[in-house]
Chain A
Amino acid sequence: MFDVARVVEAWPLLAKGAWVTAQLTVAATAVSLIVGTLSAMLQLSGLRAGYWLSRVYVSAMRGTPLLVQLFVVFFGLPLLGIRGEAFLAAVIAIGLNSGAFVTEILRAAVLNVPRGQIEAAEAVGMSRWQLWRRTILPQAFVTSLPALTNEFTILLKATPLASVVAVTELTYAGQLVIARTFEPTEILLTVAAVYVAFVLCLSQVSRRMESRFARRWSIQ
């Protein structure tokens, strides 16, 4: 039967793990958004080199397992003189991986911004950068909110991979408890429940933003 006492006893360690998972998710999401946005802009900038740089990045990230990417970053960082930074390696690897998918999501949304709105911006004399910042990106982010939310829930559930480079996130914390007690049921269920709670939080935030912007602007 479900023994609450086991959860209570393990909670301090699990909570620490959950906190690491949350930090990892937020940091990797930020990396993913920044890199994904820049990569989508490069791809659609009309610059040949930019286009290819972005294509190669997306293909490399989509074409190889995240686990391999994580090892590459983890063992690559020391070559740059950065040692013992497992958390940083995980943020970079997971963020870069997700950024490739964000590139594709945003690319589709950018191409959906009506041509006439871009011409209207050009007609008032906006520069390329102003056009992106003021007209294209705000709309692209809002129209792709559901797809982005989906991508970041996937990112959240990829964070346990960080345990292979010894980042004590939620799942690894659970495993450490189980290795001591040999009683997996309560711990695993608790770990699963925390992930569900995180995902619900994410989708709540996304829903709020959607009703705040998308409905008022009536764009989809």
Chain B
Amino acid sequence: MNSEFTPAVEVQDLRKSFGDLAVLRGVSFTVAAGEVVCVLGASGSGKSTLLRCVNGLTPATGGDVRIGGELLGQRETAPGRREPLPEAERRRQRRRIGMVFQLLNLWPHRTAAGNVMEGPMIVLGMTRKDARERAERLLAQVGLLDKADVYPARLSGGQQQRVAIARALAMEPEIILFDEPTSSLDPELVGEVLNVMQDLARRSTTMIVVTHEIGFAAEAADRIIFLDEGRVLEEAPPLQFLHNPRHERSRRFLEQFLSRSSAFLSSSTPPPAGESR
């Protein structure tokens, strides 16, 4: 298969229900290699479920996900006939997809470097020395080389999330999924994580980012997908989506977001001109 023409991710009519509750009602989109796609949407629109289905943590109820052209979680035995993949094959597929979670999910019993080395050593069978080298290179990339031997308990939320990004990168995945990576952080720590992600975007890392950081989406995304009630309502380049959304729902979502930030801005008093440095 020619990777130039095969999308990195291809999602086709993806459906997921929890009992009677249909969370995803037929989601389709593709992500080209090197592309950054931000998924926006109100809470409950199915954003997180979408990511979890794309990396196979949650099995979908229907529809297909293809990573680099390869069907996820199933194999075709004959045209139109499929069977679920054995667990070992599914694990092998999962290695190709990196994931950074919303909550701080570092393993507390391993240092920053230990967290990054774990996958390469245990899953890829790399030697400790090689894994350590890779961990140091990646920690340097996220600006945390000096914290290599520190346990997560001693790291700030933003630092922990940057280690989590290095941990995902260590598996050299074809794509990285971010599930609201900044929403459990204190506001002053959000910037450092977004900077690392922006740096990844510049290095042409294929990324799907579920986020509420519209500023990040505007700057780093190649495309925005707006999810509403389990469907893709709108798919557009960021500027077009932010300035000229086509749908009433997306317009309201953006208005709500902007009014929230402007209400905050107008209520805070600007510092007197004389005192500013």
A-side residues, CB < 8 A to B, are 114, 116-117, 119-128, 130, 134-135, 138-139, 142, 213, 216-219
Q: How far is the CB of B59 from chain A (nearest CB, A)?
A: 12
Judge whether B101 and A217 touch: CB under 8 Å. Answer: no
Whether A122 touches B57, Cβ cut-off 8 Å, given contacts A134-B118, A217-B151, A217-B153, is yes
State which of B87, B118, B151 has its C-beta within 8 Å of the C-beta of A124: B118
Q: How far is the CB of B86 from chain A (nearest CB, A)?
A: 12
Q: Which residues of B sit under 8 angstroms from A128, Cβ to Cβ?
A: 87
Q: How far is the CB of A122 from chain B (nearest CB, A)?
A: 6
Judge whether B109 and A120 touch: CB under 8 Å. Answer: no
Q: How far is the CB of B113 from chain A (nearest CB, A)?
A: 15
Q: Which residues of B sit under 8 angstroms from A135, Cβ to Cβ?
A: 107
With A and B bound together, what is the CA distance between A218 and B122 in angstroms?
A: 24
Whether A117 touches B151, Cβ cut-off 8 Å, given contacts A123-B55, A125-B95, is no
| Residue ID in chain B nearest A118 by CB atoms | B105
Beyond contacts A123-B57, A124-B94, A125-B94: 17 other A-B pairs, Cβ-Cβ < 8 A, are A116-B101, A116-B105, A119-B101, A120-B99, A120-B164, A121-B107, A123-B97, A123-B168, A124-B118, A125-B91, A125-B123, A126-B123, A127-B91, A130-B123, A216-B153, A218-B153, A219-B153
Q: Which residues of A sit under 8 angstroms from B95, Cβ to Cβ?
A: 124-125
Which residues 104-143 of B have a CB within 8 angstroms of A? 104-109, 118-119, 122-123
B-side residues, CB < 8 A to A, are 55, 57, 87-88, 91-92, 94-95, 97-99, 101, 103-109, 118-119, 122-123, 151, 153, 164, 167-168, 171
State which of A116, A125, A217 has its C-beta within 8 Å of the C-beta of B119: A125
Judge whether B91 and A123 touch: CB under 8 Å. Answer: no
Q: How far is the CB of B109 from chain A (nearest CB, A)?
A: 5
Number of CB contacts from chain A to chain B under 8 A? 78
With A and B bound together, what is the CA distance between A216 and B123 in angstroms?
A: 26
Q: Which residues of B sit under 8 angstroms from A217, Cβ to Cβ?
A: 108-109, 151, 153
| Residue ID in chain B nearest A128 by CB atoms | B87
Q: How far is the CB of A123 from chain B (nearest CB, A)?
A: 4
Judge whether A213 and B109 touch: CB under 8 Å. Answer: yes
Judge whether B57 and A120 touch: CB under 8 Å. Answer: no
State which of B57, B118, B151 has its C-beta within 8 Å of the C-beta of A216: B151
State which of A121, A122, A139 has its C-beta within 8 Å of the C-beta of B109: A139
Q: Which residues of B sit under 8 angstroms from A124, Cβ to Cβ?
A: 94-95, 118-119, 123, 167-168, 171
